[in-house]
Every structure is written in structure tokens, then in C-alpha cells.
Structure 1
Amino acid sequence: MMFLSETKLSGRELRTVRAKFEGFEGLEVDSVGRSGGLAFWWKKKVNCEFVSASVHHMDFIIHEKTGDWRVTGFYGWPVVADRHLSWKLLRILSSQSSLPWMRIGDYNEILFADEMKGGQREQWQMNNFREVVDDCGLADIPFEGYKVTCDNGQAGEDNRQSRIDQAMGTLERRERFPYARFIHLGRDWSDHSPLKLVLDRRDHTGGGKRRFSFEQVWVGEDGSEDAVRRGFERGGDIVTALEESASQLQAWKRVNIGKIVKAIATKRRQIERLNEGDRTVEEVTRRRKLVREVADLSRQEEQFWRQRSRALWLKEGDRNTSYFHRQAG
């Protein structure tokens, strides 16, 4: 499942984006002009029941064999004077169900002073947030990664960092998902970090060996057939031969496009280091330069595969056309 907030896009624009994610269903909430905008997407195999939505929330029930549970995506009012409306909405949502409840989103508020770097939060603002959390019987879900999730991108004394994006759950949630954790992932161009809510301890983001996946655009590429052939020549039984072929294909991929992928990974690690700690003018300038370079490299990688995919489509199209011409003859 995927929750997006402050998209600044219309529902139609969001549906166009969703169409690029194969196998996903979802619902979208229009932005108001270029402010706000929400989306909640899930894989088709997930039994997801829509409950309610507004410009500030999307509420669903997930039906599973082991029992139902509830998930709410939330976007808090950004203006301090309106923040009481966030707390009112959360209390209303809390009263509507007794199911185990997960609540994720951008609250535009922090719970404690140490969740902010730069600037100062009024104590009454944090107290109001803590009060609604207690009233709703919620507790913070443990997180991994850099503590803050939002950065205004400014340098020196103007830099503001805060943990306004959080995941919380009820006591019933802890009993249902005792290993749940919230992972703060690395960010590039956005002022918010992408966040991953992991419910199962077997899910290891960034860890372990990635499963091999064959890509259709490899078909017909120079050297790909040779890589498969070498794998079968070195393998013994069929399982070993397939594993060896996968290894050969991965080595072939690293040679053909590995330079771009490696450069992107290197620059993202550099960005990740710059995301943490205070910001000097030099660090902000360096980070912006790296973000532009990652965007350029990502476009090159996408262009590489688009060209290969189009070439494959045209080639297969010619084959099909020839086949039908032969049948018609």
C-alpha cells in the first residue's frame, strides 16, 4: 500500500501517475489549487475497503484471513491557527471504529521539542498534539533512520528540520503487529523523506540479497543470449543452470548499464550524508548539485530502457505483422 500527501495534483493527474504502477488500485483526493492533494494506492491482491475521505484524510479497512484492521492516511492543517481542526478530525476518526488502527501521515506538528532542529515550537502546540494522541489511545511506532523527516532546504540559521511525519497505532495494533516499524528512507528532491511502514519482521528494507528478476527488455540485447548460454554450460542440473544464468545476466547488466546505476547509488549516499546534521551554505549548494546530477542520471537510465523497450516492441511488432501477412497469403 502507498499513501501520498500534499501531492499538489488533481485526482485526474494522480490517476495518470497511478497507471504507471502496474497492478495497483486506489483512490485520489483533488488538491485545492496547488495545495494539498491525497492518494492511497494498494495492490489488487489486497482486500481494501474504503471508509471515508476528505482533503485531510483517507480511511480504509483491510480485510485479511487473520482479522480486519484499519489504516488512515492523514494530512494535518498546515496553518497553526487551524491546527485544532486536525485534532478534532482525529478524535472523530478514533470514535468510529474499535479495530486495530494504524495512522500514518504528515501532521504538521511535533510531539516533543527534540523532534525539531532550528527554530522553536510553542509548548502549547506540542501539548495539544500529545493530548489528542492520548485521547485516541495511540502510541508512536518505532522508527529507523535519521530522526527528522522534513527539511526546508535552507542553510545556516534559516535551516529548519522536524519530525512532522509519523506513524502511530492503538494497543490492538501492537498485539496484531508486534514487529511493526517505520523506516525513514533517503530523500532526493523532496523536502519530506519517503517513509515505509513495515509490519512483518521478515521485511528488511535495504538488507539481504535481492531476488533476481528477468527483464523483458533484455531479450535481443547484444550479449544477453551469450550470458544465458554460459550459465547453462557451467550449470549441472536445471536449477543450478538457471541460477548460473541469472548470475551471468546480472554481470552482463552491470557491464551494460552498471556505470549509471553505480553513479546514482554513489551520489545518493552522498546526499544521504548531507541530509543529516546542520547545513552550511556549501553543504546546501553541494546537495542541490548532487540532486540535479541524480535526476540527470535517472533520466539517462530511463531513456536507455525506453529505447530498448521500444526497439523490442517494434521488433516484435514486425514479427507479428509478418506472421499475419503469411497467414493472409
Structure 2
Amino acid sequence: MKILSWNVRGLGQPRTVGRLSQKIRDENPSIIFLIETKLSAGRMEKVRKRCGFNNGIDVEAIGRSGGLSMGWKSTCDVTLRSYSVRHIDVEIKDEDTGSTWRCTGFYGNPETSRRMESWNLLRSLDDSPDMPWLVIGDFNEILFAGEKHGGLLRNQRQMDLFRSALEDCALDDLGYSGSWFTWEKGRSEQSNMRIRLDRGIANNIWWSLFPNFTLQHLQHSFSDHCPLLLNTTPNGNGGNRVWHFRFEASWLLEDSCETTVADIWHDSGDDLLEKLSMVLKGLDTWFRKIRREKNLSVNDLNKKLADLNDLQPTDDILGDIVETKLALNLELDRKELYWEQRARSNWLKHGDRNTFYFHRSATQRRKKQSIEAVYY
């Protein structure tokens, strides 16, 4: 099972919703926990369903801050335990293990003077010591001074109170892979600040239930927080997909499509069926190459962004990070246009793109777009 946790810093813009939808489609989580949605419960419900999660709960933002949402796929057996403006707590009946365990999405109070309220909330949630328990989210605090670079030194007492709360609840940090920080601010060497504010923690029973779990800090191109992706069964196999040829209307947007068809047609024999067969095979090969190049472009940009984030921030490095994020956004825009063209729909207006509607519409058209046989 995959769980995606992300402080998205507001979902009021269609472009931001499009970025979220793309990340969800790429990672395919079963459960999402979103923080700082800055939306009413009603608007957030629409966004959540648009992303493919019809089941879930949305906590209202207070004014222009806060707001939580947790969604889960219909294939998941999830029961809501409790929620507040700082947490959403659910029970999950896991099909892989046959066990029931808790997943708590957590949002620590951003006000330092009220941080103790968050730790007391965490203690109050520790009411089932015999159940596997995972807590994931933005805690707005660090455990050790080394988890913050730049800015003022963290107050030692703040960190001690956070560690004390985890000890009282018998929760341990899960670690991570990827860039060491989860939050960044400042685009110059003098002002840059990086902190590990987001994390996953769990009790020993949960660790024993999922000994091979992974937790990744994913690359991203919006929000000052990075997404966390927890995978309880990283060795799971999603099955092999069978490739069926179908002509995509978006191919006509590629400059090389027309010349590729013309070259294959002229190089084939005189028989019409043979020509059609050669064009089909040739386009299949051509599209695989185009798709591979586009995927490599996005993967290369993500890798470049990860490498840049690992370097000591200087003005040049931070400038490269901004340029790489802009390039990544451009590639994601192209992918959104692909889905819009593939769905053959004019429903999308005013920039509200890459929604669940288009993916569903494109899927429903697959049977109509394929050629089952040619009779002569």
C-alpha cells in the first residue's frame, strides 16, 4: 500500500490542482493526506474526487489557513476514528497482512507558542498501544539541530519537547530516502533555509508488520514542502501491461509523425494491407521512442533537481534549481495537453486541466479507438 502525504500550501488554483493530479497519477497511492488545503470542506471534496478519491474526509480551513483532507481508493477498507483541525485518524484493514492498523495524518501547530498543544494531541491519540500505529505529516518541528540549515538556531527546548512526545507514545522516526530536507525557503545563498519538518513515525508493532517499508522524499515543482511517499510493500508487482496499438490524436502534434508515416509508406511494398501493416508497426516503434524520450526528459529533470538539492546552496545553485523547476513545469504542461487531446473533450475551460474527468474519459474511449480487425 502506498500513502502520499503532502503540505500543498493551498489548492485554490487550477494549475496547482493539475500538478497534484499529475503527482498522484505518477505515484498511484492508495491513500492521500493533504495539508494546508486552504479550502472549505465542500471545495476540497470536489478536488479530492477529481483526483480519483471518492472516499475520504475533508476538514475545513480556518479563514485562509489550514485545511486537511484524507482520501482513499474504493478498494481500501478504511474506517474513520477521529479528526480535528490538526489530525485525521483512520483504521486500515490490510489485505496483504490480514491485520488492522492505524494511520494518522498529523499537522503540527505552526505557532511555536502553541506547539505543546500538538504534542498533547498526539499523546491523547495514543489510546491503543496494542495496535500497529503510523503517524505521517508535517510536524512543524525538528528532532535535532542537524535537521535545519540556515536561519536562526532552533530552540533546544522545542526539540526536547518533540522528542519527549514521541518517547511517551513509543513512536520512532522512520527515516527517508531522497533529499534530507522537506521544506525550503529563500532563493539566495544568504537567505536560503532548509528544514526537515515532514516525516513518518511509527510504533514497534507497525515496524514488525511492515519490515520492508520505504519512505521517500519526492521531487516537486510547487509548494515549499516536498511530498512524502510511504510504501508498505515496495516489492509488490502491479502486473504486466499488454500493449495494444491505437492511434493517438496527439501524435499529430509531433513534427516527426507525418514524415515517419510517409517514409514507411514509400518504403513498403505495393500491397495495401502490407503497407498498412508496416505503418502500424512503424508507428508503434516510433511512439515507443517518443514516449521514452519524454519520460526520460521528466526523469532527467527530477534527477537533476535531486542532485542540485544535495549540493551546498549558492546563488548559482539556487538559480539552477529555479530553472529546473520551470523546465519540469513545462514538461508537465505538455503531459496535461496530451491527456486533454486524448480525451477529445472541450469540457476543460479556464485552465482547469489534468483532472480525473479526463483520465476517466480517455479510459472509456479505449474500446472505441482500437481496431479489432480489418476485413476485405
TM-score (norm 2): 0.69
Could you tell me which of 201, 218, 232 is aligned with 1:185?
A: 218
Q: How does 1:17-166 map to 2 (within 5 A)?
A: 17-22=47-52, 24-64=54-94, 66-95=98-127, 98-119=130-151, 120-166=153-199
Matched AA of 1:195: L
Shift of 1:68: 0.9
Q: How does 1:222-237 map to 2 (within 5 A)?
A: none
Q: Determine if contact 1:8/1:34 at 8 Å carries over to the other structure.
A: yes
Higher relative CO (Cα under 8 Å, sequence separation at least 6) belongs to: 2
Alignment partner of 1:157: what SS?
A: coil
Gaps of 5+ in 1: 227-244, 321-329
> In 2 relative to 1, CA 246–293 (structure 1 residues): closer, same or farther, beyond 3 Å?
same
Shift of 1:34: 2.3
Q: Determine if contact 2:187/2:319 at 8 Å carries over to the other structure.
A: no
1:259-318 per-residue CA deviation (whole Å, 9 max, x = no partner) reads 54443333332222222233222222232222222222321221133123207989x99x
Aligned-residue CA RMSD in angstroms? Answer: 3.2
Could you tell me which of 254, 260, 278 is aligned with 2:289?
A: 254
Q: Which runs of 4+ in 1 moved over 6 A?
A: 220-223, 245-248, 311-314
Gaps of 5+ in 2: 1-30, 262-279, 347-360, 369-376
Shift of 1:216: 9.8
Task: Report sequence identity in percent.
Answer: 30
**Alignment size in residue pairs:** 292
> In 2 relative to 1, CA 251–34 (structure 1 residues): closer, same or farther, beyond 3 Å?
farther
Match of 2:272 in 1: none
Distance 1:278 1:141 in 2: 25
Match of 2:339 in 1: 305
Alignment partner of 1:27: what SS?
A: strand
Greater mean deviation of Cα atoms: 290-299 or 81-90:
290-299
TM-score (norm 1): 0.78
Greater mean deviation of Cα atoms: 42-51 or 141-150:
141-150
Alignment partner of 2:325: what SS?
A: helix
Shift of 1:167: 0.6
Q: Determine if contact 1:212/1:246 at 8 Å carries over to the other structure.
A: no
Distance 2:87 2:46 in 1: 21
> In 2 relative to 1, CA 213–67 (structure 1 residues): closer, same or farther, beyond 3 Å?
same
Alignment partner of 1:111: what SS?
A: coil
Alignment partner of 1:34: what SS?
A: coil
1:17-45 per-residue CA deviation (whole Å, 9 max, x = no partner) reads 22233364211112222211111111111
Matched AA of 1:113: A
Matched AA of 1:103: V
Match of 1:281 in 2: 315
